[in-house]
Amino acid sequence: MIGFRFAPILNKYNSSYYLLRPASGGAHDEDGVWIPAREERTPYRGHIQPVSAELKQVEGGRYTDDDRTLYTINKHAAGDLIEYKSVKYTVHPPAERDYCDTNKYILKKVVVRDTV
């Protein structure tokens, strides 16, 4: 199978995003006040753009204007939490791309709703 090299092209348009890992544990300070642990933020680089209108139609409205597509050389698992420009997204299962050196992921915006 022919392998395409898109990584050099991506380097020109890459921007920073963060992979967020949930916090575990915490500690007490010297006064005995509990300080919860912070989530771990790991910086990565990739190209993030809006989801195409064609994909929104094919998937029957499953994706919205707030969702994004991520092209990167990094590997992510389904369900990973990503922060880009102070907005959090969940990674959906990756598309199989055996023919090139980049990975494509769909990012769904995390919506926090208050219970009434």
The CATH number of the domain holding residue 67 is 2.40.10.270
All residues at 6 or more sequence positions from 106 whose CB lies less than 8 Å from its CB, including other chains: 51, 55, 63, 67, 68, 69, 70, 91, 92, 95
| 42, 19 contact by CB (below 8 A) | yes
Judge whether 2 lies within some domain.
no
Judge whether 51 lies within some domain.
yes
Domain range for 66 = 7-109
Judge whether 29 lies within some domain.
yes
Cα–Cα dist 87/5, whole Å: 30
Judge whether 1 lies within some domain.
no
Judge whether 65 lies within some domain.
yes
Judge whether 115 lies within some domain.
no
Cα–Cα dist 49/70, whole Å: 7
45-73 pLDDT, tens digit per residue, is: 998 988 876 666 565 567 777 888 898 88
Judge whether 18 lies within some domain.
yes
Whether pLDDT at 21 is above 70: yes
81-94 pLDDT, tens digit per residue, is: 999 999 999 998 76
pTM of the model: 0.74
Judge whether 116 lies within some domain.
no
Q: How many domains does the chain have?
A: 1
Whether pLDDT at 77 is above 80: yes
- Top pLDDT among 84 and 96 is at 84
